[in-house]
Amino acid sequence: MSTSPDPNPRPEPATEVEAQALVSRAVSFADSVVASSAPQWEHERQWPGEALAAAASLGLNRIQVPAEHGGYDLPYTVKLRVVEAFARHDMAFSFAWVNAHNATARLARDGSPAQRERWLPGLLSGRSVGTVCLTEPGAGSDFPAIATRARRNGQGWVLDGEKAWATNAAGADHAVVYAQTDPAAGNKGIAGFLVDLGAPGVTKRHVEPLVGGHAIGAGGFRLEGVELDADGLFYRPGEAFGRALASINGARTYVAAMCNAMLDTALRIAVAHAQQRHTFGSPLAERQGLRWMLADAATDLEASRLLTERAASLIESGGDAIEAAAHAKKFGVRIAEHRLRDCMQILGASGLRDSCPIGRHLVGARIANYVDGTTEMQNERIAASLLRRLATQGKA
């Protein structure tokens, strides 16, 4: 544990009432700052560093941080509510925030005393942002194929390689970088390292110029002879691969929740428009074809929420959430893409206006297809569980 006093002491103890107050603060922040700034982040291709810092100053980076390190130590579902509140207005900000939060919780939970002492106060207060680098230009879904190498250098390490698509790369000042220490050992050779992104040998590559989702600030880094001392090791070889996978069910489930929140927003906008807009003497809401579009969107949203809640409750109870999280993400992404488009259709040409968030949400749903495991990778998970389960049943 850090020996120096925390300059950002935990504002209040976390009780159930406090958790609700924290979520209320997030909702107010989302309805004011995120709602009004999201179009600007998109147009001006901005990474919302100031808004992320402001969210941290509300205590939001402390949700899953252990109490002994200045956090609230609250359940996963509290984070899920905050993710939803932000995604109602902007999936990209929600994703940037949850990754900033997770970097804080990861460092508090898994960092060494020296690592915590150096980075945690800044992460808790929002002065600093961390990122996590698994993906490389040559390895995304196939994470074990990463080519970034870590070689022993006395008590320390030297890193060489290239990382891509790291969320918040636009403003992050440190990263957990996954690298291969022993190619012959496969997954067991992969280790995680805590890298100061301002250190000699680290070059920030461009922030990805995307078709949308600029608030995610995704980008990469080149690592050339980056020297780390022994304390640079974050996850040991043999431990890192499992650590990378340990949080994936939670990530898949909150991406599903982001999709649900975006569709909920679109449905509200489409219903209001259908009631107010008249064509041929009647409101659009009286046209059966359009009413049924809205009804189908509502049914899909209900089903998706149930899948998301089921995965969340398994995560919270410590159950096996692999299959449930894959179902939730796959279904949430699919229905968001389909039904966001339907909601936009009901708005006619005005759905294309920049002032309407549904177009931004459609891009958000596309992005949700890739992050934290692509839709095809969810199918691989589901198929593997299904085949194993049914094979076991067949033998019974």
Which residues here bind ligand FAD, judged by CB under 6 A? 99, 131-135, 140-142, 165-167, 213, 216, 218, 367, 370-371, 374, 376-377
Q: How far is CA 170 from the centre of its chain?
A: 15
Closest separation in Å from C-beta 359 to ligand FAD:
17
Angle of the 358-368 helix axis to the 35-43 helix axis, nearest 10: 70
146 — phi, psi (to 5°)? -60, 145
Per residue, the 3-state secondary structure of 309-340, as one string, reads: HHHHHHHHHCCCCHHHHHHHHHHHHHHHHHHH
Closest separation in Å from C-beta 8 to ligand FAD:
24
- Residue closer to ligand FAD by CB (options 72, 119) is 119
DSSP class of residue 162 equals E
Distance CA 39, CA 216 (A): 13
Closest separation in Å from C-beta 138 to ligand FAD:
8
- Residue closer to ligand FAD by CB (options 333, 335) is 333
Closest separation in Å from C-beta 248 to ligand FAD:
10
- The neighbouring-strand residues paired with 136 are 139
Distance CA 106, CA 39 (A): 31
Q: How far is CA 202 from the centre of its chain?
A: 24
Per-residue burial over 261-291, b if 16 or more Cβ lie within 10 Å, else e, is bbbbbbbebbbebbeebeeeeeebbeeeebe
According to DSSP, the β-strands at 174-180 and 130-133 are parallel
Q: Are 83 and 257 in contact (CB under 8 A)?
A: yes
Residue nearest to ligand FAD (CB): 140
Query: From the DSSP assignment, how many helices (H) and strands (E) are in the chain?
Result: 12, 10
- Residue closer to ligand FAD by CB (options 12, 380) is 380
- Residue closer to ligand FAD by CB (options 72, 178) is 178
- Residue closer to ligand FAD by CB (options 85, 367) is 367
- Residue closer to ligand FAD by CB (options 119, 165) is 165
According to DSSP, the β-strands at 174-180 and 190-196 are antiparallel
- Residue closer to ligand FAD by CB (options 76, 370) is 370
Closest separation in Å from C-beta 390 to ligand FAD:
21
CA distances from 160 to 141, 178, 182, 243, 298 (A): 21, 11, 13, 22, 49
Closest separation in Å from C-beta 208 to ligand FAD:
8
Among 267, 287, 321, smallest CA distance to 80 is for 321
Closest separation in Å from C-beta 217 to ligand FAD:
9
Would you call 119 helix, strand, or coil by DSSP? helix
DSSP class of residue 5 equals P
- Residue closer to ligand FAD by CB (options 165, 234) is 165
Closest separation in Å from C-beta 361 to ligand FAD:
15
- Residue closer to ligand FAD by CB (options 116, 381) is 381
Closest separation in Å from C-beta 95 to ligand FAD:
7
